[in-house]
Amino acid sequence: MVRTLEAKDDKKSNEISRIRRSQLTKATYRVVGKKGYYNFTIRDIAREAGLSAGLIHYYFKDKQDLLLNLLREMNSNLKYFLNKALSELDNPVDKLLTFCDQAFDLVQKEKDYFYVLIDFWTQINHNPRIKQANIKLFQSYREECAAILREGVEKGVFIEMDISFTATVIISLIQGTIIQHIIDNEAFNYQEYTKRIKDQIITMIKKPL
C-alpha cells in the first residue's frame, strides 16, 4: 500500500515537473523572440510564465541550461510535427514537398522561431554547448531529408545521387531563402519563390517518366 502511494506521488511529481518545464520553455521561446539572446533575464522568463524566478532555478541550473533546453525542444517539436505529416504519405515526392513546406511555413506559423535560431547562431564561436546543439539541429535536418531521398532512390522514384550532398543542398536552399526573407521581406515574393524552389528540387532529382 505504501509503495503504491509512493509510486502515485512520484508519478504526480514527474507530471508537475514536465508541465512546469514546458511552461518555462514556452515562456523562454516567447521572451527570446522579443528581446533576443543577450537582452533577457530570468525575471523576464518568470514574468512571462507567471511563475517565480526561484522556481526557474529549481528546474534549470542557469540561463544557459534553460536556453539549451529550448533549442532541444524546438528541434523535438519540429521532428514530431514533420514525422506526423510524413507518416500519412507514401510517395517520396509528396514526402519531400511536405518536408519543404514544413520548413518554409514556419515563417508564417512560428514567426519567432528563426529569430530565436539566429540569436543562437551568434553564440557558436563563444559557447561550445550552444555550438554542439546547433550542430545536432542541422544534422537532424539533413538526416530527415536524406531519409526521404534514400527512400525515393530505393523505390525508383528519384535518380541515383550523392544523398548526403543533395540533402545538404536542399537544406541550404530552404534555410538560405528563409534567412533572406527574414532580413528583407520585400526582396522577393516569398510564396512564389518557395514554390519555384520546390519545383526546382523535384525537377533536379525526380526520374523522368
The verdict on 182 and 88 lying in the same domain is: yes
> Hey, what's the cell of 145?
531529408
Contact at 8 Å (CB) between 115 and 133? no
Contact by Cβ (8 Å): 63, 53: no
Taking the C-alpha atoms of residue 183 and residue 170, their distance in angstroms, rounded to an integer, is: 20
DSSP structural state of residue 208: P
CATH number at residue 82: 1.10.357.10
The answer to whether residues 51 and 117 belong to one domain is no
Query: Do 178 and 193 lie in a common domain?
Result: yes
Using alpha carbons only, what angle is made at residue 161 by residues 160 and 164, rounded to the nearest 5 degrees? 145
Quick one: 38 and 92 in the same domain? no
Q: Are residues 44 and 86 in the same domain?
A: no
Q: Please report which helix (H) or strand (E) contains residue 143, including its range.
A: helix 128-154
Q: Which three cell numbers stand for residue 94?
A: 509528396
- pTM for this structure? 0.78
| 162 and 146 within one domain | yes
Please give the residue that has the higher pLDDT: either 144 or 56: 144
Tell me the longest C-alpha to C-alpha distance in the chain: 68
- Predicted confidence band at 144 (pLDDT cuts at 50, 70, 90)? very high
Residue 34 shares a structural domain with residue 75: no
Count of the separate structural domains present in the chain: 2
Q: Is the pLDDT of residue 203 over 50?
A: yes
Same domain, 52 and 121: no
CATH assignment at residue 42: 1.10.10.60
CB contact at 8 A, 56 and 27: no
pLDDT tens-digit series, residues 65-123: 887 787 778 777 778 888 888 888 999 999 999 999 999 988 877 777 777 777 778 77
Q: How far apart are CA 130 and CA 136, in angstroms?
A: 10
Interval 152-164: pLDDT, tens: 999 999 999 999 9
CB 206 within 8 A of CB 157: yes
CB 72 within 8 A of CB 125: no
Tell whether 40 and 72 lie within a shared domain: no
Task: State yes or no: pLDDT of 6 exceeds 50.
Answer: no
Domain coverage including residue 83: 63-209
The pLDDT-based confidence of 204 (bands split at 50, 70, 90) is very high
